[in-house]
Structure 1
Amino acid sequence: MVPMHRDDTAARTAAARGWTLVVPLKPLALAKSRLAPAAGSGLRSALALAFAQDTVAAALACAAVEGVVIVTDDPLAEAELAALGARIVPDAPGAGLNAALEHGEAVVRLERPGAPVAALNADLPALRPGELARVLEAARAHRRAFLADAAGVGTTLLAASGGAALAPAFGGASRARHLRSGAAEITLPGVDSVRRDVDTGEDLAAALALGVGPHTLRTSAASPA
């Protein structure tokens, strides 16, 4: 029998462990501009932080997740999300969402080359750990896979395993771009909390109906809407 190379052993061990989630978050002062009509400009950034806090808390409570990496340059978000147990990585590229995701992925893969990595939106305040676990389990059947948002237009999660690159194409009609890139679409029923991102007042109402985490619940109570 030919002995396994040490690097192969490390890669397979990493792949057998849990997922590392990369969560990008723009500066809070710039986040969630489409929420301003419903929440007011003063509450908009607070809601963006609350969404991220509830997303990260739920992700870290998921049995399939080994760790969460936040890519951000916002000092308040850094402090609050690190307190929940997330690892903070500065947005060194400073070139937008997809560049931030690629940077976070590179940091993870530098330490764990074979690790399964998934990009997750920061605005999933109704996220349920069990539903996230089901999505990630389904993703393991593919080298790259994604979950569309509730509208069926965007993407809330993009996963890569087996050493594959994420190759993120988030923003706008990203579902179509991820399909064209060869990523498999995850079509599980009953994972609404993983699909319900929040960009508008209507989205927030839908998330509240699903049941949001404590940070969003507390912050949204102050909203004029």
Structure 2
Amino acid sequence: MSGNWAIVPVKRLEHAKSRLALVLDAQERRQLVRAMLSDVLDTLLRVSQLDGIVVVTSDGEVSRLARQAGAHLVPDIREAGTNEAVRQGLAWLGSQQNGCRLIMPADIPFLTPGEVANVISSLRSHDVALVPALRDGGTNILGLRCPARIEAAFGEESFARHLAAARAAAITPAILDLDGAGHDIDVPTDLFHSSGGEGGARTRAVLSQLSCGNPVPVAVWMNEELES
């Protein structure tokens, strides 16, 4: 597929956001993931510079949400993690000599159309664009100008790995520190972040309804982290 495309890999809902289990039960976590994915897809659909969206998943409910949003669905046949899901999405799109690929998780609901446009714009003059997570050393958007010259390496400390891969390929990446796109929701303290801007309407509504306003579970979680 030619042009500019976004790829969003999404785990099965029963496996999603396990690190929030101390403050949210399984149903609440599913509700939150659905809201975050819907917010991300809604934002991407408002970006005129994007030609399409690919959601890679093996989850039936996620597949339904993706289709309802008008995204293209790629079944995650292997279920071998985020990077393998990304490879399947890239393979479905095929090799192109123009355009770009924006790879992002479904847990950055405060993403804005302007931020996505900024990443696409940066790829006019760079082969790689990186949006670092504000908190944990991760990568919240990996932008690749076609043909891609580095592979996805999501996971713990992925920003450093993507940066090293770019430098090994003699690429100077564009690094964009973005408030909305930089904030993912992955651990209990993320639930208490108040992001400004226009993004994340569904996620904000869900968080306001959930029982995550009690500081006790988060305090327990933080103590466990310090002791481990």
For normalisation by structure 1, the TM-score amounts to 0.84
Which amino acid in the other structure matches residue 103 of structure 1?
Q
Pair 1:198–1:168, CA change in 2 (3 A):
same
Q: CA deviation at 1:128?
A: 0.7
Could you tell me how far apart the structure 1 residues matched to 2:20 and 2:211 are? 12
Residue 115 of structure 2 corresponds to 131
1:142-164 deviation per Cα after TM superposition (whole angstroms, max 9, x unaligned) = 22222111126110111111312
- Match runs of 1:139-158 below 5 Å: 139-151=123-135, 153-158=137-142
Structure 1 unmatched ranges of 5 or more: 1-10
Residue 71 of structure 1 corresponds to 56
Residue 116 of structure 1 corresponds to 100
| Match among 60, 74, 96 for residue 45 of structure 2 | 60
C-alpha contact 2:56 2:86 (8 A) present in aligned 1: yes
Residue 193 of structure 1 corresponds to 180
Could you tell me how far apart the structure 2 residues matched to 1:207 and 1:74 are? 30
Q: CA RMSD in A?
A: 2.1
Q: CA deviation at 1:117?
A: 1.1
Equivalent residue pairs, number = 208
Residue 216 of structure 2 corresponds to none
Which amino acid in the other structure matches residue 204 of structure 1?
L
Could you tell me how far apart the structure 2 residues matched to 1:166 and 1:59 are? 23
Could you tell me how far apart the structure 2 residues matched to 1:179 and 1:208 are? 26
Q: CA deviation at 1:141?
A: 1.6
Pair 1:165–1:78, CA change in 2 (3 A):
farther
Give the 3-state SS of the residue equivalent to 1:81 in structure 2: helix
Could you tell me how far apart the structure 2 residues matched to 1:42 and 1:184 are? 43
Could you tell me how far apart the structure 2 residues matched to 1:167 and 1:145 are? 13
Q: CA deviation at 1:63?
A: 2.0
- Runs of 4+ in structure 1 displaced over 3 angstroms? 112-115, 183-189, 207-212
Does residue 81 of structure 1 match 2:87? no
1:26-81 deviation per Cα after TM superposition (whole angstroms, max 9, x unaligned) = 00111011122222332011111111110111011112211110000111111112
Does residue 222 of structure 1 match 2:206? no
C-alpha contact 2:40 2:109 (8 A) present in aligned 1: yes
